[in-house]
Structure 1
């Protein structure tokens, strides 16, 4: 396998990516290619790149794993921004790069998205018809997570009020409020008393040696979250999502709702060809890096893309 660091444009800034080609690759031939998208708060050096892209490349695919704009090694100001419209545009710009490569068959471009990257991938596929097949792994609808993240009936409205107060303060000269997606350590998680399986495993993955990476610093610009609260990753799937679809979920549900979200995406998609695969015994983060479970997901993706690309 050969890996090349590349960059492509989104608006005026560069998006950082890792382009992988398999052993024995012949640049004189046309090949299918798969864009691999990372979870919320993640980076290309974690599950999307070092697990899914690497294995799909070993299986013979050209892959492109990228850092979201405003995050990781990608450009874009302000930093630590989680903006759904920009995240979706990253996919379109990734395809823009692939169609300029002589060895990529523009009629055989697919996408795999993990967690929030899966939700964004679904949104991107609805409007970018150059994407010919869509695979999602524990796809999460980030807008719904933001709206339902607290148990009080008016939590989303209260959060929006707080965001607007902070945005007004920053417009008047205050320093940006940079918060975190999850507790910054297992000890901090225990102190706040969070025991949901997804949060426990998120902290274990992102904030310990299991998966921690300097390009995924667990930092989030609070005043930039207005758009996320109004976002629905699956909006219009029953109208616009027609590509072949492979949904993969674990059957252990948690706060991020990927089991629920996977079934919703499967049910709503207009696709004539669609399948949902439930990995028994797997929680959300098991499908990030635990071989017992990722192997099953990758075998399903391998056969899916072999048939559709």
Structure 2
């Protein structure tokens, strides 16, 4: 088979979820392959790090990889646009697994894992906690969006933020224009350089040719963020996180808190096998696409996935 990737539409709750399927070298549809579902960061899309970096690398290592766009984002359906709702984000994983188990006969439906980057990492870990069709999970610089929604995104005033969201949603319901948050409100790279390391490197990734993609919106609909304020990616991990997992973060700590969140899920989870990998001299966005950092991460990830998902047979 010469095709290395194809785009599909996956039926979701009421709209299609857009996904790219990455195939291993010398793919043979008569074999049974292990699969990995790959989830993009907050404000990102499948054409960025979840697909073009980790998706390709995992496929090269022998996995069928399904990198998908979250509902309301990228090329997936759902309105209004730019909604970052954790309940829908985690629900998307379930529909992707439904599709794999129903429509991909070359995947062993008992050997499916999940990987996510940044917010996608937090969602991936939550999906593995609550959908035991996932046999293992990996969070790459994983961020707990619920914590972010209560802290920095709410300016550390979640009650005040909820009141503002209620007023804004009321106004929009009555015909006002939606208020779309720009997660990177900098006018130039020079302005961004004065910000926290995560904010600065986010601008360098998303707003330059390095990582820019047409569907990488880096935006969120403010009035719909209220669901995230009461959500915790790691809720009840002490009891129900039983799957083997690995979390990888860099030791250059920034505002998005992935270093902290990686430590948090590692400490809280009931899993008998869990791995915390802290990479030295590495930042959040280096783990998106820097060859040296992603190689170090993949050197840990690929053996872990092969241990729990196996090889094609």
- TM-score w.r.t. length of structure 1: 0.95
Q: 1:95 and 1:249, CA in 2 relative to 1: closer, same or farther beyond 3 A?
A: same
CA contact (8 A) 1:35 1:112 kept: yes
- Equivalence for 1:22: 24
Gapped regions of structure 1 (runs ≥ 5): none
- 1:306 correspondence with 2:292: no
Distance between the aligned counterparts of 1:188 and 1:166, measured in 2? 32
Alignment of 1:178-193 (within 5 A): 178-187=180-189, 189-190=191-192
- Cα RMSD over matched residues? 1.5
Q: 1:206 and 1:167, CA in 2 relative to 1: closer, same or farther beyond 3 A?
A: same
Pick from 11, 21, 37 the counterpart of residue 35 of structure 1. 37
Residue 132 of structure 1: SS of its match in structure 2?
strand
Q: 1:220 and 1:150, CA in 2 relative to 1: closer, same or farther beyond 3 A?
A: closer
- TM-score w.r.t. length of structure 2: 0.94
Alignment of 1:7-18 (within 5 A): 7-18=9-20
CA contact (8 A) 1:184 1:207 kept: no
Q: CA deviation at 1:147?
A: 1.2
CA contact (8 A) 1:183 1:189 kept: no
CA contact (8 A) 1:4 1:19 kept: yes
Q: CA deviation at 1:130?
A: 0.4
- Equivalence for 1:120: 123
Pick from 66, 69, 83 the counterpart of residue 67 of structure 1. 69
Q: 1:158 and 1:151, CA in 2 relative to 1: closer, same or farther beyond 3 A?
A: closer
Distance between the aligned counterparts of 1:227 and 1:152, measured in 2? 17
1:131-165 per-residue CA deviation (whole Å, 9 max, x = no partner) reads: 00101100000111121106965x21121111111
Gapped regions of structure 2 (runs ≥ 5): none
1:248-276 per-residue CA deviation (whole Å, 9 max, x = no partner) reads: 11111110000010011111111111111
Count of aligned positions: 306
- 1:104 correspondence with 2:107: yes
Q: CA deviation at 1:184?
A: 4.9
